[in-house]
């Protein structure tokens, strides 16, 4: 059985939803950030990065959301969570999840994790100040050029959808009005109505 390590209000939500959508046999394990468990010796043996998500399989432990999402899709092909038979479409899907990971999530992280990039309090405050603009720019690009609709890749639900949903739930906290992006806002609403999403959201509290 898979063992999935997660914490509420993190990008682990995306992989957690994907596991449910895939019908995977897994055990969820909550990592309590309020107790700094992610930095404890026991968890660092699982993920030396001290972050979530982490997915323990019979072959080892996987980290990083795009990798975990693709693993779920590849090991549960009947769920059809990725165009595994089409190299180009699969690469397009990976391009979207890579953008979410490397650019959108990083733009968001400047609001609370500025100390990862700077020590100067003024520099950290400047990063925070710019978050509404940088996050808005990311979502504007996705709305206009990358999001097909009704799902990320078009008519078919894929692993990109729970990842976009996760980051879209952070918009208000980042000082961004989601109404500026009607297609993505409609997607967020549509996603929240899926049974698997509702189940996972309840688990995350």
Residues 10 and 34 occupy one common structural domain: yes
Q: What is the pLDDT of residue 181?
A: 98
Residues 99 and 195 occupy one common structural domain: yes
Residues 99 and 178 occupy one common structural domain: yes
Among the candidates 61, 80, 99, a domain finishes at: 80
Among the candidates 56, 80, 104, a domain finishes at: 80
Name the pTM for this structure: 0.97
Half-sphere exposure of 64 (CA within 13 A, CB side): 9
The two structure tokens encoding residue 84: 């595994």
Residues 143 and 191 occupy one common structural domain: yes
User: Is residue 204 in some structural domain?
Assistant: no
Domain of 20 in residue numbering reads as 2-80
Residues 30 and 119 occupy one common structural domain: no
Encode pLDDT of 166-187 as tens digits: 999 999 999 999 999 999 999 9
Encode pLDDT of 100-135 as tens digits: 999 999 999 999 998 999 999 999 999 999 999 999
Q: What is the pLDDT of residue 205?
A: 86
Element (H, E) at 174: none
Instruction: Provide, rounded to the nearest whole percent, the portion of the chain with pLDDT above 90.
Output: 99
How far apart are the C-alpha atoms of 188 and 186, rounded to whole Å? 5
């Amino acid at each position: 059985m898979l063992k999935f390590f997660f914490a509420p209000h993190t990008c682990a939500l995306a992989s957690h939803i994907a596991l449910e959508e895939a019908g995977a046999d897994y055990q969820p394990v909550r990592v309590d950030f309020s107790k700094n468990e992610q930095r404890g010796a026991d968890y660092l043996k699982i993920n030396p990065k001290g972050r979530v998500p982490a997915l323990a399989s019979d072959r080892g432990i996987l980290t990083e959301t795009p990798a975990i999402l693709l693993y779920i899709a590849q090991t549960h092909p009947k769920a059809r969570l990725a165009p595994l038979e089409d190299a180009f479409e699969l690469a397009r899907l990976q391009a979207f999840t890579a953008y979410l990971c490397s650019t959108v999530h990083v733009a968001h992280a400047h609001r609370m994790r500025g100390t990862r990039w700077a020590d100067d309090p003024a520099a950290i405050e400047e990063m925070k100040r710019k978050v509404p603009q940088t996050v808005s720019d990311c979502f504007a690009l996705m709305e206009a050029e990358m999001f097909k609709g009704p799902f990320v890749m078009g008519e078919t639900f894929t692993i990109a959808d729970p990842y976009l949903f996760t980051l879209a739930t952070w918009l208000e906290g980042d000082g961004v009005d989601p109404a500026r992006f009607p297609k993505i806002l409609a997607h967020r609403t549509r996603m929240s109505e899926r049974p698997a999403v509702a189940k996972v959201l309840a688990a995350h509290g």
